[in-house]
Amino acid sequence: MKDVLSEIEKYKLLPVVTLHDEEEAVKVLGALGKGGLPMAEICFRTPYAPQALALAEKFPDMMFGAGTVLDAKSCTLALDAGAKFVVSPGLSEEVNAVCRERGVPYFPGIVTPTELMRALALGIGSVKFFPASDFGGVKAIRALSAAFPMVRFMPTGGVSLENIREYLSLSCVFACGGSWMVKGTETGIIEKTRAALAAAQGV
């Protein structure tokens, strides 16, 4: 688990991708790698998601996890397909149970102190703050961190090239999630990924 978290923290940026077929997957994931970002959160919003995770064989230097995982069934499917970590938009105790059993990091989405207390009770200390921009952004994370200094956050939702430095300036933020860099042509994705990494690494 520590290796996965350390790898995400190293790049400070987790691209969130929704893929519909192999052609799109190869283009997007390949462009991320060429842009210098060897990881992706593949959302379980399409039937193709498990197959996209299985493409890890084509990208041996990249690390893929599953996002938008809502229940134990989807979590098991994702892990069987090769997901190295799991992300949810909210906190699911059944997803957490599967991840703990399989020894895989789980980053649930939270926005309130109550949700944070539930996460801590489940042994979760690194969470996704989602949707970040709609629930107070940097100010909200700073306030939550004051009450929960042991928690580390990954803001996602509304994060962009324009505000990523502000989020990462908080010591409690270990990475930012976002999808702005994975849209457009292959060349465009490469360029946006490089720009996002430069901004993240510059903090």
pLDDT in tens, 85-105: 999 999 999 999 999 999 999
Report residue 1's pLDDT band, with 50, 70 and 90 as the boundaries: low
Active-site annotation holds for 183: no
Q: Compute the mean pLDDT over every residue in the chain, rounded to the nearest whole number.
A: 97
pLDDT of residue 198: 97
Of 188, 178, 171, the C-alpha closest to 128 is 178
Residue 2 a catalytic site member: no
CATH for 2-201, options being 3.30.830.10, 1.10.3720.10, 3.20.20.70, 3.30.2320.50: 3.20.20.70
Residue 87 has a CB neighbour count (10 Å cut-off) of 29
Q: DSSP string covering 178-198, please?
A: ESGGGSS-HHHHHHHHHHHHH
SS3 64: strand
Q: Which of 12, 84, 128, 192 is catalytic?
A: 128
Share of the chain above pLDDT 90, in %: 97
pLDDT tens-digit map of 124-160? 999 999 999 999 999 999 999 999 999 999 999 999 9
Is the confidence at residue 2, as pLDDT, over 70? no
- Which is the catalytic residue, given 41, 73, 166, 191? 41
